[in-house]
Amino acid sequence: MIEHPAFYEVDPWSLREKGLDLQVLPQSESLFALSNGHIGLRGNLDEGEPHGIPGTYLNGFYETRTLPYAESGFGYPETADTLVNVTNGKILRLLVDDEPFDLRYGRLRWHRRLLDLRAGTLRRELEWTSPAGKTVQVRSTRFVSFAQRAIAAIRYEVEPVDAEARIVVQSELVANEKLPAGTADPRAGLATPITLASEYVGHREDRIVLVHSAPRSGLRVAAAMGHRFRGPRGISTESEAEGDLGRVTVTIDLPRRRSLEITKFLAYGWSSARSIPALRDQVDGALAEAVHTGWEALVDRQRRYLEDFWEAADVEIDGDPELQQGVRFALFHLLQASARAEGRPIPAKGLTGPGYEGHSFWDMETFVLHALTYTFPALVPSALGWRHSTLALARERARVLGLKGAAFPWRTLRGVECSGYWPAGTAAFHIDADIADAVVRYQEAVEDPEFERDYGLELLVETARLWRSLGTFDREGRFRIDGVTGPNEYNALADNNLYTNLMARHNLRSAAAAVGRSPARARELGVSPGEPAEWLKAADAMMVPFDRSLRVHSESQNFTQHERWDFSAMRPGDYPLLLHFPYFHLYRKQVVKQADVVLALHLRSGEFTPEEKRRAFEYYEGLTVRDSSLSASTQAVLAAEVGHPDLAYDYLAESTFIDLHDYEHNVRDGLHMAALAGSWLATVPGLGGMRVEGGALRFAPRLPRGLERLRFRMAFRGRRIEVEVRPAEARYRLLSGRPLAAHHHQRAFRLLRRPVRLPIPEAPVLPRPLQPAGREPEPRHAARAARAHQEG
């Protein structure tokens, strides 16, 4: 585990690395990754070595592989797609008097890196003495442009400290890098190497273009680099390129305290249809535009883009500086994963590493788009538009499964199911309702008629058709959805999963309402006059499992009658359970991998009474082991709502620090985008108590002990709203837009330009619920005290 104080300074607007520990280099490469949603660069060192996992990714660029099965079955996916590590342009190798600059040799006097959350840059400074005793300082700045989506850039500067030095810098483009061996952890990336085929090499002066293709998928990628040099007279350059390597070599004899500055521009493009000359010209053109714009202007545009983002989405927390840093770190990476995705999915790891092979899951809609809808809603239609673009594939998948409508994939990169684990890849149908829920949430929050006409209505119609064909009416007239897998993957192939059924009901009703709003468009989509009535009939008769003896909602039919998992027999090393116990045992017991019923309590809040929420939350706290990064934020939201603000604080910290502290021991493979989005969910819907129910905006804020103030901004129906929460009072202010009716702890008020101050009622005094032995969240108060003692 990465212990935050040992490696990173607490700073509200940056992640500062104090030194360099090669043992955790893979983890820091993920934390310092840069992306704009189209290009992703892992935070590898400039000189390329040493490294943990080299990584340069393009959203949607994949290779296809065959899925292996010991025993195949009808309807199993036959192939899967894997995100590819494409041509690496980050490398700048340095030689000082013929000696390679390598941190494993000589003496590293100091080393600092800083991820600037307001500038969108990664800066690095160091001083190194070669084995022969020559000392140099190196400074670099790197960014992936939000303004020009095909562009990344690096400024690299070297300066002799004590005497003149002969300096050589080799700026490279490298394809088909050797990658480290994979692991048996199913959350990690593919171990099988992927080799790209070289198709074109071009170089002139300081510019090089390489074009490669992925043989099975047929995708083609072009990478280009160009340079600008500044320094004393005597700079000489030469370029060479062949196959998988392009290199521009810069040579100079540098006097003491004089510097060589290299500005390196990178351009990327890929296509499934464009020719080699077209892709070559595309990246040449993007490169020319970047060079014309210039380094300073690109950096300025990067900062201005982030100024707009933080103006809209910032969260301020007083009383816990580390949490303040963590929440902003989470929001920054959320933006990086989505800003310029533009018609592509948002992968579970963003573009920060090879984890999950670059696939997207249902958590894109349920967590990532949830946060973006209320912070930077302009990014949401792109992701949902991508889902819409895959409808033909989803309809075909439904047909193979003998169903109507569209069956969206549980795990995918381009719209086809990529999971060979069929209890999820075939039976986790809740993905359809999660997509529909994201559509409805966006429409309620933004009121975008063009989106509903072009994308939203058809997504709602096709998902509603899926539910009507998947479910059946029993002899008592109840609508059942049997044999499915809900969010809790430790309870697969269950009948009437509560989350699935309630989300399906919402999907069916929302589709019927949307058809009623747009009857002409619905007829164009082939909606028959009787279909909406059938959807409403199924929704009204939906079975909702409830254990009357326990007076608690059951996760699925008969779930509460299963034997409870023996948590007392578990050792710390037994978690996550999926790596140490057969699924057969997990499926038969009361044990919860990730919040399932509790997620339903949040997303379908109006379906439950306050007492039902409290009882269900406390019951499932005793069963939930949080073997998934998706769980803590949901538990935080409900803990805050039912009257456990201190427990909500603990879960908020767990979701926020999942990568900074490497809680899951797999941050080397990339960051957890849904958990980082969960940091916002645990803060705003959690501590801020923000809900949208029946189209109305509601707040029920309450701070835990230790936090002095929470301030957040959000978007809703063309308005910008600021909420400031203190222990005894909340202040609401409309920043832009027309006045709006809202609620504060069930009290109606109007959001106005002038601040509205309202008292916060006392929290109920409730006993803290128990978690499975050994799976209690770390108490935030104790953690802060321990770290303060360590630093003191």
Spacing of C-alpha 512 from chain mean position: 31
Helices (H), 320-429: 321-338, 363, 369-373, 380-389, 391-400, 422-425
Q: Are 440 and 105 in contact (CB under 8 A)?
A: no
Cα→Cα distances 239→97, 170, 576, Å: 21, 10, 50
Nearest to 495 by CA among 506, 508, 474, 480: 480
As a whole number of angstroms, the distance between CA 486 and CA 490 comes to 9
Nearest to 152 by CA among 210, 88, 248, 199: 88
State the CB neighbour count (10 A cutoff) for residue 131: 10
775 CB-contact burial (10 Å; exposed 0-12 / middle 13-18 / buried 19+): middle
As a whole number of angstroms, the distance between CA 660 and CA 4 comes to 7
As a whole number of angstroms, the distance between CA 210 and CA 227 comes to 16
Helix (H) or strand (E) holding 787: helix 780-791
Cis-peptide into 576, omega within 30 deg: yes
Q: What angle do CA 306, 307, 308 make, to 5 degrees?
A: 90
The DSSP annotation for 314-346 comes to: -EEEES-HHHHHHHHHHHHHHHHHHTT--SS--
As a whole number of angstroms, the distance between CA 429 and CA 486 comes to 8
As a whole number of angstroms, the distance between CA 757 and CA 742 comes to 13
User: Dmax over Cα atoms in the chain, in whole Å?
Assistant: 90
Do you know the residue count of the chain?
792
Report the DSSP beta bridge partners of residue 80: 65
Helices (H), 622-672: 631-642, 645-656
Strand pairing report for 121-129 and 107-116: antiparallel
Strand pairing report for 135-144 and 563-564: unpaired
Strand pairing report for 546-547 and 135-144: unpaired
The DSSP annotation for 206-263 comes to: TEEEEEEE-TTT--EEEEEEEEEEESSS--EEEEEEETTEEEEEEEEEEPTT--EEEE
The interaxial angle of helices 645-656 and 631-642, nearest 10 deg, is 160
Q: What would you report as the CA-atom Rg of the chain, rounded to the nearest whole angstrom?
A: 27
What is the dihedral sign for C-alpha 600, 601, 603, 605? positive
Name the DSSP letter for residue 147: S
Which of 47, 357, 417, 489 is an active site residue? 489
Assess whether 489 carries a catalytic annotation. yes
Which residues have CB under 8 Å from 568's CB, separation 6+? Answer: 773
Q: Are 481 and 410 in contact (CB under 8 A)?
A: no
As a whole number of angstroms, the distance between CA 666 and CA 659 comes to 8
As a whole number of angstroms, the distance between CA 747 and CA 760 comes to 11
Cα→Cα distances 692→57, 163, 238, 368, 563, Å: 36, 66, 61, 17, 37
Residue bearing tokens 């607490």: 10
Residue bearing tokens 């979701």: 655
Two structure tokens written together for 117: 């959350």
Would you name the residues annotated as active-site residues?
Answer: 489
